[in-house]
Structures are given as structure tokens and as C-alpha cells.
Chains A and B, each alone.
Chain A
Amino acid sequence: MALLEVKNLDVRFAVRGGDLTALRGISFSLDKGERLGLVGESGAGKSVAAFSILNLIAKPGYIAGGQILFEGKDLAAMSERELRKIRGNRIAMIFQDPMMTLNPVLTIGTQMVEAILAHRKISKKEARAIALDRLQKVQIPSPEKRLDQYPHELSGGMRQRVIIAIALLLDPEVIIADEPTTALDVTIQAEIMDLLLNLCEQENVALMLITHDLGVVSQVTQRMLVMYSGRIIEQGPTRDIIDNAQHPYTVGLISALPQMGEPGARLFQIPGSMPSLKNVPTGCPFHPRCDYATDQCRQAMPDYVHAGNVDVACFEVSKRMEQEKHMQEERS
């Protein structure tokens, strides 16, 4: 059984004039110690997906259907009280902006001890020892001094290390990291990503990494999901998708990277932009930007097909696969 299994999750936002669907039929699973990447552009629904796992989507957002099974129990059906035992304890989260996560008027030590005491019945002294141990794990220079410092006394990279240390406080099974390095410089990003990866491996923690950076995904994760307009359009082993993407959107996204083009030549570009939730096109949401769009794409939502190790939701890909199968049959 998978550690975390999301089945057919629908998330909507109740606004004037009807509901907006932010997530449509999201299904994926995360095994113990596995690292999963969630990729997509702004508005694709990656953060909503991450937040809804711990039922953290704020009103008017709500989970309209589906299950979120963590060790077999449905988080979507749990009471707030039960959920609180899991948040930060079994499943921890890391957010993009460390300044927003840390309380500016409390010392690092106070915040860490508070988080431990919320879940464990131990003395303050023992809690402080755990906090110190985690700060050492994230390789912060002079960790004892940091416990008594305030967030503003630390640099951006150091703050993100503290956030990772807080996430590790209670030995979680899963860490959900929402764009943890987007606000950082490249050299700091490389250090933080390396640290996160090593810690997850050492402690056998599963990682769900939300990012828009395909380079980071390929360095850190084993499997990945590509999201577009609230749907998972492709998922499978990271290497398979990076090296041999199937869905026209994924192919476009990878080809549009400057490193894929000849220097000085025009980059591959996907025309248009992601539809807003207010007017998601009928059928496949990508069809207005897709070169392969047919009437079928404009009317019906494609189902997932297996293309090798990868699951893809695209009529064009399934058509291609049928043709291949046909040719193979003819040959034999």
C-alpha cells in the first residue's frame, strides 16, 4: 500500500456566479521514501494540490470529491482535530517564502520548541535538544547561537535551512515542499536542494516537491507529475518524461527552455497562455494551444493511456500508440 494515495480529487472555489474547478480528478500516489515532483506553470493547480492534501485550502475553496488516503485513512474526511495531529507531525510542509513561515517576533528556538511541544509530551529542555539536533542536521553554522536569534538576523538561505529543520523536527513520513528555492539565488538553491535530497534519503522521508523548474525536478525526484489547468496531464518516472515526454504540452515546455535551443536561434514557443479558471475550454484544456488538436479534443476530455512507463491524457498520444500497435500486428 502506498503511503499517500490521492484518488480522484476535485477541489473547487465557491465564488459568485458558480464554482470554479481548481483541480479535476487528480490521482497519484507516493510511496515511503519516494521523491515526487509536481510541475506546471502558474495557475496549473500545483499549490492547490499540495495544500489540499492537508486540507489547508482556505475558503471559498473546498474539497468537492475524492479521497486523500494517508496510511489508509482519508484526510479529506477527517475532523480538524484529527488533522492537527498529522499536520507538521506526520506530514510537514515547506513554503516558498521563509519570511512568511517564520514568526518575526519569536526566536528560532522558541518557534521550534513550540512545534515539538504541540505534539509531544516532553520537557522544554528535551525539546530544545531536539531543535539543536535538527539545526545541526541542516548544517547551520553555530547552531546553538541560532536558537536565540530572530528570523531577521539570518540570511535567506539560512532561513530556508531553519524551515527545513522545523519540518524535520518530529520525524515526518512526508515533506511537502512548495517551491522551496524559488526566492533564492542559484548557488544557494543548489545547496538547499542538495541538503533536502540528502536528508530525505538519510531519514527515508517521502518528498513531494512542487516547482516550475524542470532542472530541479530532474536532479531531485524519481517520479513526476505535469499539471495543466487543474489536471494531471502526464505522470511517470522523471527520467522517462524529461528524456521522452509524450504530451504535447510537456514536449513544448521542455523545448521552450533556453538550454534546449541553439544559442541565438529562436526558441520553441507554445502560443497563447494557460486559460484562467473562469473560462476553461471544453474538452482537453490544452487544445487551443495544441498543434494536434482535433474535434475530438475540443469536445471530450481524454482519458489516461499508458505509453511505456508514463501515463498520458492525450488523444493524439493514444492515436499514435494504436497506430504503432497496428503496425506491429501487421508485421507479425
Chain B
Amino acid sequence: MTSPLVEIRGLEKQFDLSGSLLEQITFKDGRFQRKQEAVHAINGVDLQVQKGEALCVVGESGCGKSTVARTVMGLLSPTAGEIHYDGKRIDNLKGRDALPYRRKMQMIFQNPYASLNPRMTIQQTLEEPVRFHQPDLSQSDVRAKVQEVMQSVGIDPDWGSRFGHEFSGGQRQRIAIARALAVDPEFIVADEPISALDVSIQAQVLNLMMEAQETRNLTYLFITHDLAVVEHFGTRVAVMYLGRVCELADTKSLFATPRHPYTQALLSAIPRLEDERPNYIRLQGEVPTPVNLPSGCVFHGRCPHANERCRTEVPKLIATDANVQVACHGVEEGRL
């Protein structure tokens, strides 16, 4: 296999909850105590994104999928672990050194109402990144570039003088995609790009993203909670639960034979058109808080197959088939 375009190694991210030193100190039982708390958003994630693929990261709210996206983009700095792009470590780069990667890696956000500056026209919104990253370009070249991306996402270039609020949600998301494409990126992180859109508009935007992938040879890291979209769009899928990857497989095998008990439950919960009644694997309880992580396998408290080993030992991602990796003691031991 060729070397991956983006590699995430041992990534961990914690968000401190305890505030300043004074807030951490409490007076109890006659003495001062210091207490620190943190949200363990990502707890050791290793992922590789291959050139030209669409790697989908799925999971429910709070599983850390968006934190992975933001850490890869450098919007958050990792607590531990490394991010590599094309063989070079980038999470520790600053200022001028990081600049080339800011161009090659672009992001599309969930809410196009929040991600477009309301005081800039569409033309300004699209010109800004081009000017910033290619300061040598002449005025007319910049305009030509903006025209080209607008056309490619199906936005009439004559609308350039309008503001974001004059467009519908689907059109705004097209503009957000155009802004990402304007600097000719290689790698796009899309964080729930269609979740805020209606079904008929979702299809339009998904088609646009697939088209851009083919014509511009893009690589995607696609974050979503919508499994039906993953099945359609993804090359490979990573299922996350409480900050860990519990299953990583190519889309076809994952949907045909999900192995991890959590993946099985998650897939069974998708409401399908052919169902006449809700038909799903019932999990006990709810997702535990990421402040106090369960010991061992993070899923053990809700898993119908958990045993003593699951409660104490953290399972590693282990290859079970050519394109399938599962982090589950039960699968490893052949119990499941």
C-alpha cells in the first residue's frame, strides 16, 4: 500500500473543565484539596486517510468525531499524538511553516448560516482565500478563479455581489464548498456538511461533493452521524464511541457484516423504508460521560456480551479480515 495522505497517530484530546487554580481548590475535611477534571474527547485514535478515498467517521453525539476533524485541521491542538500530512508531521507547525498545509487542507462546516461572514458579499468571501494563498495572482486571475469555482458548484457567477443571507441553505452550503475549492485543496475535512439540509437538497450537495472528488482528485475526511449517507458516500468507515475507534472497515463489509456490538446496534437503529415497525438492537443504559471514562472497553457497560476482560483491559484495533479492523475482545476471542 502506498503511504497515506493523512495519518493520525495515537491522538488524544482532553478539554480541561476545572478552570483556574483558585476554582480547583476546595476546602474539605479540614484541609485544602485540589481537584482537576477533564473531558476525554479523544482517547487514542489511529487513522490513515489514503489518497483519493472518502474516509467517513461516524458515531453519536459526544463520541469525539468533530474533535478529530478539528484536530486534524489544526483548529485544536492535540493533547498527545501526532498528525502527519504526506509524510510530514504538521501538528507542531506554526505560522509560515503551516501555511502550505492551510491551503492543501480545507474544511466544510455543518452550518452554512454560521460559516459565511454575513457582512461579506459572496465575491469577497470567495476571493479572500485565493488572494491570501496566492498573493501573486492579478486581479483578473483572481476573478477568473472565483468564476470558475462558482460555476463548478452551480452558483451563477452573476450573484457575486449578493450577501449570504440572500441564499437558501443548500445554496449557502454550495458557496461554502466553493470557498474550500477556491484554493485548489487536496484534502477536505467535511464536518456534517449535509445534516442541516433537507432531503432533496442533501442529494444535490452530496452529488456535488462526489463530482468535485472525481474532477479535482480530492481526498475526504467526512464526519457524519447519518449512516445512510456513509453507505452511499464512503470508501471506508471508522465507527467511534467515546473517543475511541471501535471498528474500521471498508464500507461494503461494514454494512454487510458489522462485527463490533456497537456497530451492530448503530446500524440496526437506522429507520429503513422497508421496515414496517422499529426493528433494532436494544442497548442498555446511555452513553457514559467522557469525564469519567469506563475502565477497559469503553462500551462494556452497555454491551450484552461483556465479560471480566472487557471490564479491565482496553481492546486494541485488530485486523480480522483484509479490510476490517475491530476493537473488541469478544470478536478477537471468537465469542461473537
Contact = CB atoms under 8 A, between A and B. Distances in A.
Interface of A: 41-42, 155, 157-158, 185-191, 193-194, 197, 212-216, 218-220, 239, 242, 252-254, 256-261, 263-264, 266-271, 273-274
A187 B280 contact: yes
Nearest to B154: A271
Contact of A273 (B200, B210, B269, B279): B200
B280 A190 contact: yes
B22 interface: no
B168 A215 contact: no
B308 interface: no
A242 B227 CA distance: 20
A264 B276 CA distance: 27
A266 B228 contact: no
A186 B265 CA distance: 10
A190 B265 CA distance: 10
Contact of B198 (A212, A266, A268): A212
9 contacts: A41-B198, A187-B269, A189-B271, A190-B268, A257-B273, A258-B231, A263-B231, A266-B210, A269-B204
Given A185-B61, A215-B272, A219-B276, 9 more contacts: A41-B201, A214-B199, A219-B277, A219-B278, A264-B232, A266-B207, A269-B207, A273-B170, A273-B201
B172 to A, nearest CB: 11
A189 B278 CA distance: 10
Given A215-B270, A215-B273, A258 B206 contact: yes
B199 A212 contact: yes
A259 B271 contact: no
A242 B207 contact: no
Contacts of B29: none
B271 A257 contact: no
A252 B271 CA distance: 19
B207 A190 contact: no
Contacts of A259: 228, 231-232, 272-273
B203 A269 contact: yes
Interface in B77-117: none
Contact of A215 (B229, B251, B275): B275
In this complex, the member of A42, A257, A260, A274 whose beta carbon has the largest number of chain B beta carbons within 10 angstroms is A257
Contacts, number: 125
Given A213-B271, A215-B270, A252-B200, A267 B232 contact: yes
A267 B203 CA distance: 6
Q: From B199, B204, B226, B269, name the one whose CB has the most chain A CB atoms within 10 angstroms.
A: B199
B233 interface: yes
Given A258-B231, A259-B231, A263-B251, A218 B60 contact: no
A314 B48 CA distance: 51
Contacts of B228: 257-259
B227 A186 contact: yes
Contacts of A190: 268-269, 271, 278, 280
Contacts of B210: 264, 266
B202 interface: yes
A194 B199 contact: no
Nearest to B289: A155
A207 B185 CA distance: 49
Nearest to B194: A258
Contacts of B199: 41, 212, 214, 253, 256-257
Contacts of A242: 273
A216 B273 contact: no
B316 interface: no
Given A218-B275, A258-B229, A259-B231, A187 B201 contact: no
B207 A186 contact: no
B271 A219 contact: yes
Contacts of A239: 276
Contacts of B279: 219
